[in-house]
Amino acid sequence: MRDYASKILDRASMKAERQRLREQGRTVAFTNGCFDLLHAGHVDLLAFSREQGDVLVVGMNSDASVRRIKGEDRPVLPQDDRARLLAALEAVDYVVIFEEDRVDDLVAEVLPDVLVKGADWQHDVHGREIVEQNGGRIVIAPLTQGRSSSRILGKILERGTR
């Protein structure tokens, strides 16, 4: 394993790291998602999110959570692979896998200063109340048009039937 694997933390380790970052006065940005079939839209979201703070924490849905949200044929890539791909990106400081369908509990544990969501989710920002009640803010990231894991998967499946 390369040293980027050290950026993948369990929840208890992330809570301890968050306390250390708070003591240092560092601003923590947070975003989350499934990140299945990593694409340019994900990279743009992560880069934008990183610009919102000194540190970027990414909450990533577990395999079981992705299956419940997106169906039995997802995720395409297993959670360990998805976490390693995210951790290898320069913009990402920490990756935390969460089992729940909603990210609220992890947001409550991390208590980010900034919660970033893509514009396609601006109507339903899970964790909004927790962040705002603790003095944080919500930032909506612009979308990279035409990019989605579901669209990519659809193209792959379509081409496979030809």
Over the stretch 54-108, which tens digit does the pLDDT of each residue have? 999 999 999 999 999 999 989 999 999 999 999 999 999 999 999 999 999 999 9
Over the stretch 8-55, which tens digit does the pLDDT of each residue have? 999 999 999 999 999 999 999 999 999 998 889 999 999 999 999 999
Over the stretch 101-149, which tens digit does the pLDDT of each residue have? 999 999 999 999 999 998 887 778 999 999 999 999 999 999 876 666 6
Query: Looking at the 3D structure of the chain, how many domains does it have?
Result: 1
Distance from C-alpha of 93 to C-alpha of 134, rounded to nearest angstrom? 22
Q: What is the CATH number of the domain that holds 87?
A: 3.40.50.620
15 sits in the region (left: phi over 0; alpha: psi -120 to 50; else beta) called alpha
> Which range of residues forms the domain containing residue 134?
3-160
Distance from C-alpha of 31 to C-alpha of 50, rounded to nearest angstrom? 9
Answering whether pTM is above 0.85, one says yes
Q: How many CB atoms lie within 10 A of CB 64?
A: 13
User: How is the beta sheet containing 94-98 ordered, strand by strand?
Assistant: 94-98, 55-61, 28-33, 114-118, 137-141
